[in-house]
Structure 1
């Protein structure tokens, strides 16, 4: 049984999950092909757009479906159990849009214009922030991409790495250093803008179907109102519950690995045994560990999402968001490893799904927030609490 069913609360959530299941077989098949060929499953995203998946986290007042963070996790976990790269790629659309409209990070004019593009033109976006010279943008590096305002036009040049969903994006929400403001600006750049191109250099072992190539900006000239956002501090310092779309993907991959291992254990019966290997105590031990880790991770992430969306507990949720990502990703890695131990050497065959789950799930270690940052923040919070208690005792 997929214990995800326990977390479905209403018919609206169930309807979206049902729609996703109608696409399941095709998404799996295309995802496998994209991984094998280091390609991109275009049709997966066309199918998702046809069920308005890009509108899920756009508020209803802007014409969207109005789903929240908890809902998004349900949908992303479900989709990732079919194909992790597809879910991770389109998940950035859900997370970016959710945060933008919840926090009203742009002017109302810009929000309305982009909402119209999402609803009527199947717009897809992702933040273009990673650069080789900065490392992870959450650590506060200043982008090497520059934006200069000359005669009322922005002139932008630079290169972004890990531009996930690059082929399907209609807009790149691109960070650049704005000298005039001594801050990092974000520019909403249509993908068909002159000077914008994709350099196809995504050649990695994990998440191959995400088309996370480099985005190249070669003397791009844009209208002044293309600057939609200005940040004077690293984005990693800001609390963002919508980032839970990331661990949701790895939870879905873990569920798929678990299901494969359970099916194998219950059906594989070598002639050296009277029945399937699932009857062996050491196999049952591993299956039990898998379900325990999956339950723990799932309860944690959904509990954090609920508390973040609850007015009474929202302000108390800070480090729990990073902890959810840490717990889910590391548990997912352990789950896939246990599944491979059950199935055996055939999991090393490229044609075996567990081989891909093993590669894909490790990508989570390199998605933000990084484990060391999460652990460090937890330690700092504990020390600050102790220091505050000491001050209170001296009063």
Structure 2
């Protein structure tokens, strides 16, 4: 398959430290505005696109960049430090590009079209799996969403919950079952502007308010015959990709970014805050210095787990692959603890909407909902340890 990518900037994005810092700053410019409005973060995604990031994560075989697994995580972390809603939308899109470079799946002509569109705008892609009745598919069960055969292809009907980027989503990969006596399951690819797609504005959450994670109804959506991508199914949804273990930590990288943003505010506040009774910045006190040390300790732990486990997992290290669910749990715990430590130390100012730390606290708590969720990960690990 061949496709060319028109450059979105004069030099290719390579995830250098200076590029990552500039990316964080550009995305952060609109984060508070979108958090307050709850609107789709179009400006933040446009900033990511201008930096050349969407093009860079497409495989070189398809005309993209050469950003590898660790640099992809660093990029997601940098975007998350600026605006985690933007980072989540990008991370979901990234997962599709990584899957395509591995096992493939999307029809060649469709992926060529996605590449061409990505050259000129930030194309978003996401899988729609959860359902109001079923819940998360990793917990087991068949989807109620159904795709039935027609003379020209398929017709998709059903309702999905928690579809991130819904109001601005370019391509939906909808988990559905066929109407055969023995149903097959797979992803049905539909374009965001296809007839029969309706957004139900259900997303009004504590954190990631701009992620547009609404419910979506698919009402007799007609799709071409090759847009049903069958996947193996044995009672629960499992990503068949050989890189799925590494991708499971991508969402965790978002929240390390959030915690780094919280640390940045904490540091700035500590230098600027001069209580009348103290007469000098609180950053000069041992109490605040100890807190700063604790925050950094949590973040070092999180980053060492993220990048260390991933570096081993992508080489095929079976022990590292088996540890990725537990690594995700520990990274999330550390990121949340880092932000909560900063909030506890600063008191009332930390909870004021005039300061970004309040937003970072709300956002970092969203880390717990991404799979594998803590109870499922600990159960699987516990069973393996106990050999039961």
TM-score > 0.5 by shorter chain: yes
- Provide the alpha-carbon RMSD of the alignment: 2.2
Look up the match of 1:350. Answer: 353
**1:320 pairs with 2:317:** no
Contact 2:173 2:189 in 1 (8 A): yes
Alignment deviations for residues 45-100 of structure 1 (CA, whole Å, 9 cap, x no partner): 12222333223332100112142321111001111111111111211111222123
List aligned pairs for 1:209-288, cutoff 5 A: 209-233=210-234, 234-236=236-238, 239-288=244-293
Look up the match of 2:4. Answer: none
**Offset of 1:283 from its aligned partner?**
2.2
Rounded to whole Å, the distance in 2 between the matches of 1:37 and 1:120 is 26
Contact 2:70 2:310 in 1 (8 A): yes
Structure 1 residues 337 and 188: CA distance shift in structure 2, 3 A: same
**Offset of 1:120 from its aligned partner?**
6.2
**1:374 pairs with 2:382:** no
Rounded to whole Å, the distance in 2 between the matches of 1:228 and 1:58 is 20
Say which is worse superposed, 180-189 or 201-210, in terms of deviation: 180-189
Structure 1 residues 83 and 339: CA distance shift in structure 2, 3 A: same
List aligned pairs for 1:1-395, cutoff 5 A: 13-15=14-16, 17-106=17-106, 111-112=111-112, 114-119=114-119, 122-180=122-180, 182-233=183-234, 234-236=236-238, 239-311=244-316, 313=317, 315-384=318-387
SS in 1 for 2:29: helix
Contact 2:168 2:192 in 1 (8 A): no
Contact 1:84 1:207 in 2 (8 A): yes
Contact 1:57 1:67 in 2 (8 A): yes
Structure 1 residues 12 and 350: CA distance shift in structure 2, 3 A: closer
SS in 1 for 2:167: coil
Contact 2:326 2:377 in 1 (8 A): yes
**Offset of 1:292 from its aligned partner?**
0.8
**Offset of 1:114 from its aligned partner?**
4.4
Rounded to whole Å, the distance in 2 between the matches of 1:143 and 1:172 is 16
The gaps in structure 2 that reach 5 residues or longer are 1-11
**Offset of 1:29 from its aligned partner?**
2.9
The gaps in structure 1 that reach 5 residues or longer are 1-10, 388-395
Rounded to whole Å, the distance in 2 between the matches of 1:272 and 1:26 is 38
Alignment deviations for residues 147-196 of structure 1 (CA, whole Å, 9 cap, x no partner): 11133431111111111112332111111111326232111101111101
Alignment deviations for residues 107-159 of structure 1 (CA, whole Å, 9 cap, x no partner): 65655554445446653211011111111122223211111113343111111
Contact 1:110 1:228 in 2 (8 A): no
Alignment deviations for residues 23-54 of structure 1 (CA, whole Å, 9 cap, x no partner): 54442231100111222221111222233322
Structure 1 residues 140 and 12: CA distance shift in structure 2, 3 A: same
Rounded to whole Å, the distance in 1 between the matches of 2:220 and 2:226 is 17
Structure 1 residues 298 and 23: CA distance shift in structure 2, 3 A: closer
Look up the match of 1:7. Answer: none
**Offset of 1:104 from its aligned partner?**
2.5
Which structure carries more helix by proportion?
1
Contact 2:41 2:85 in 1 (8 A): no
SS in 1 for 2:249: helix
Rounded to whole Å, the distance in 1 between the matches of 2:270 and 2:378 is 36
Rounded to whole Å, the distance in 2 between the matches of 1:111 and 1:26 is 28
Rounded to whole Å, the distance in 2 between the matches of 1:179 and 1:60 is 38
